[in-house]
A and B are shown apart, each in its own frame.
Chain A
Amino acid sequence: MVIYILRRLLALVPVVLIMSIVVFLIIYLIPGDPARVMLGDGADESTIQELRQQMGLNYPLLEQYGRWIGNAVQGDLGRSFFLQQPVSTAIREHLAPTLSLALFAQFIAVLIAIPLGVRAAVNRGGLADKTLNAYSLLGISVPGFLLSLFFVLVFAVRLKWFPVSGFAPLHEGIGSFLKFMFLPALSIGIVMSSLTARIVKASMLEVLHEGFVKTALSKGLRQNTIIYKHVLRNALIPILTVVGGSFGTLVAGAAVIETIFNIPGLGQMLVHAVERRDYAVIQGMVLFIAIVYVAVNLAVDLLYAVVDPRIRLQ
């Protein structure tokens, strides 16, 4: 198991390296001097020089990268010129809303996807299967942020069931948290569940043909016991993959949703940073989210090995 984990970690090194280089090079896409662009036309020369020094722009390229990645590894993602605080602190302050949104959305997605996918697999061509077909088409064609705009239009503006925007942290009571988070989480959850449900169906179909299902049937187990207790459990691996994989996309996709609902999370912070051209924040956040994304995928990979011992031995 230890060897398996080490091998997986080692395989990630080149990917993470490339990702960090891509993120680092982003400021070199800026036409002209980044410090000058950030401060605007009116800035005086000494401020520009100060910022250049702070951003490390006066060093040779390789040394700049070395310094940047060296600090990043130690959890120092630089300092935001506009927020006047370290980027890592800013990320920590904005993490909770995004994380709770992501978890809530994932919960909704799984809640919809598993029953729908399972029914569709067990009864091919039936109502659930047809629903799934239409539903998955909806999921790919309607982006989450658009769905949330429609939800706001119907449930917040017209029916007034939910507030149009805002946020209440979880520790101030689950009621107000749910009131603010339901629409954003639902719109992300629906889009995500469409993909998950399709994978659930495909994966279930595969396991349904295994011999043990026949055995269970012939020894008279109830169908629901077979499906949910035995088949679903064996069908979990591909399902875990999508759930884990979508988690990173979800944190990224939350950027748009958070702007719509005015949730003070990572996404909103990123959008503000883009507006202000606060490159330290942009680089730090993109690197952070990308690393989280990779880490979640790694965790899923490791989870396979726990779920299915055969993988460990390969």
Chain B
Amino acid sequence: MTDSTVQEGKQQARRTSLIHSQPVRRFMANRTAVIGGVLMLLLIAASLLSPWLARFEPQAVDVVSRLKPPSVKHWFGTDNLGRDVFSRTLNGTKISIQVGLTVALVSSAAGLVIGLYSAYYRRLDQVLMRIMDGIFAFPAVLLAMAMMAALGPNVSNLMICLSIVFTPAVARIVRSSALVVKEQTYIEAMRALGASRTRILWLHIMPGTLSPLIVQGSFVFAESIIVEAALSFLGAGIPAPMPSLGNLLSEGKQFIYNSWWMTLFPGFALILSVLAMNWFGDGLRDMLDPHARTKRKRSRKGSMEKNTSDNNNEKVSSATQASS
């Protein structure tokens, strides 16, 4: 993902380095990030405006015009019950974004608390991080599926399960950056001044963990959209009549022989949502972590023989990749 932003020319790179101190403008200068952000906004707007954009209700059954290919009347065609696929896709995107946003927020909050406290209190660290490691060791889809099987399929249960599954990834990131901040001299100074632990933790250490947290949160967003779709596709996520993207794909699978539009359009909606979030997350990382960016820019000119500096940042970026 990091490398995807590399496409900008040298000219652009020089211009960004001049306005280095202004994160927002750095973000604006990152073309893929802006495209990702705009795409995300468009998707959100489209899904919120779906009652006005789509001429049909997502659940409106019209048996006469079932399995019709895309036309002027039904842009994305109709499904086996004659429901409008365009309207259903918009609604599915809305549900996906809702789930993604909620899961990102909840697991970020939980991960922040767990990460901070386990970075600061040694004892707690042993217990909390062991539990986090245990949860983290499960493949995400698998654990979420097992929990959904127990809780029963509905939207709020899905949000709970996904939040539990994704919290460890956030907690790990927060903990590792909190550990770095904790060793800084100014924290020692705060302690010497007699500041309370809560004060140090939340007013002085916490801000230092925010940027990796936000970046990780955006990747959790993208990832939970994927897992939600997979679970709903399998019938272990959002229950059937609700038009979530996974359900639409699952219905499309049944009619894949004749009705390609039932698979293609919800599929593209899913890809667009995830892509937008990933691009956006990339941009956020560049914006919030200027250090990584300048290093990468330098490394871009590197060739096979010279330039050793890019090893480190490649490693860093690949490490964050793996963790996301």
A-B contact number at CB 8 A: 182
- Complex formed: what's the CA distance from A273 to B142 in Å? 13
Known A27-B150, A202-B314, A242-B322; contact A137-B234, beta-carbon cutoff 8 A: no
B257 touches A164 (CB 8 A): yes
Given A141-B278, A253-B141, the answer on whether A30 and B315 have CB atoms closer than 8 Å is: no
- Considering only residues 248-294 of chain A, those with a C-beta below 8 Å from chain B are 248-249, 251-253, 255-256, 259-260, 270-271, 273-275, 277, 279, 282-283, 286, 289-290, 293-294
CB distance from B308 to the nearest CB of A (A): 5
Contact status of A19 and B4, CB under 8 A, knowing A259-B234, A274-B234: no
Within the complex, the shortest CB–CB distance from A133 to chain B, in Å, comes to 5
Q: Given the complex, which residues of B lie within 8 Å of A248, measured CB to CB? A: 139
Given contacts A18-B130, A277-B149, is CB(A149)–CB(B249) below 8 Å?
Answer: yes
Interface centre among B3, B131, B149, B275 (most CB of A within 10 A): B149
What residues on A are CB-neighbors of B124 within 8 Å? none
Per the bound structure, the CA–CA distance linking A252 and B165 in Å amounts to 14
Flag the segment in A88-96, A118-126, A174-182 that touches B: A118-126
On whether the beta carbons of B271 and A15 are closer than 8 Å, the reply is no
Is A307 part of the binding interface, using a Cβ–Cβ cutoff of 8 Å?
no
Judged by a CB distance under 8 angstroms, whether A146 is at the interface is yes
**Given that A202-B318, A205-B311, A209-B308 are known contacts, is A137 also in contact with B278, CB under 8 Å in the complex?**
yes
Give the residues in chain B near A245, CB-CB below 8 Å: 322
Which of B92-100, B196-204, B259-267 touches A? B259-267
Interface size in chain B (residues, C-beta < 8 A): 62
Interchain nearest-CB distance for B263 vs A (Å) = 5
Q: Mark B117-153, 1 if CB is under 8 A from A, else 0.
A: 0000000000000110111011111110111111110
B7 touches A137 (CB 8 A): no
Residues in A neighbouring B239, C-beta threshold 8 A: none
A15 to B234 Cα, complex, angstroms: 28
Given contacts A26-B150, A206-B314, A256-B230, contact A274 B137 (CB under 8 A): no
**Residue in A21, A137, A143, A274 whose beta carbon sits within 8 Å of that of B229 in the complex:** A143
A256 near B138 with CB under 8 A, answer no
B1 contacts A by Cβ under 8 Å = yes
A142 proximal to B (CB < 8 A)? yes
- Contacting residues, chain B, for A201 (C-beta < 8 A): 314
Of B41-49, B173-181, B298-306, the one touching chain A: B298-306
Using CB atoms, name the residue of chain B closest to A250. Answer: B139
User: Given A18-B133, A198-B321, A274-B235, A209 and B143 touching (CB < 8 A)?
Assistant: no
In the complex, whether A208 has a CB less than 8 A from a CB of chain B is yes
User: Which residues of chain A are within 8 angstroms of B233 by Cβ–Cβ distance?
Assistant: 145, 256, 259
Residue from B4, B130, B226 in contact with A136 in the complex, judged by beta carbons closer than 8 Å: B4
- Contacts A/B (CB < 8 Å), 6 sampled: A18-B131, A143-B270, A153-B264, A255-B141, A274-B149, A286-B138
In the complex, given contacts A124-B304, A271-B234, what are 6 additional A-B residue pairs having Cβ atoms less than 8 angstroms apart?
A15-B134, A26-B149, A29-B147, A208-B305, A274-B235, A290-B139
